[in-house]
Amino acid sequence: MLSPSPDFQHEQEWFQQKVVRREVLLYVSVNGPSQWSEIYTHFEQRYNGASITHALRYLASVKFITIAIGGLTAITSSGVEQLQNLE
């Protein structure tokens, strides 16, 4: 049996990260500001912890979400715009 190529695996990982990021944006958009731990717990049954953490950090780095001291996470106006562009 052939194993998937590294390029294929990379594409799958990239696509999954894109899906996780979109779902996190949607979650925060619908539920309002939420604790980082609450978001993590919500998604941990579907995705591994590293991909959730990576998505949250990425979204914060591009300013689609803000993470306040204490972990309160909220979507920004740029995040709302990004979410609308993805639909």
Position 5 in a domain: no
Query: What percent of the chain shows pLDDT beyond 90?
Result: 59
- Domain containing 77 equals 22-82
What is the H or E stretch that residue 72 is in? strand 72-75
Instruction: Give the domain CATH number at 27.
Output: 1.10.10.10
Structure confidence by residue, pLDDT tens digits, 16-52 = 888 899 999 999 999 999 999 999 999 988 988 888 9
pTM of structure: 0.83
- 58 found inside a domain: yes
Distance CA 69, CA 55 (A): 18
Specify the DSSP class assigned to residue 69.
T
| CA nearest to 20, candidates 55, 65, 62, 48 | 55
Say if residues 79 and 28 touch (Cβ distance below 8 Å): yes
Residue 12 lies inside a defined structural domain of this protein: no
Asked if residue 8 belongs to a domain, the reply is no
Residues 71, 35 contacting (CB under 8 angstroms): yes
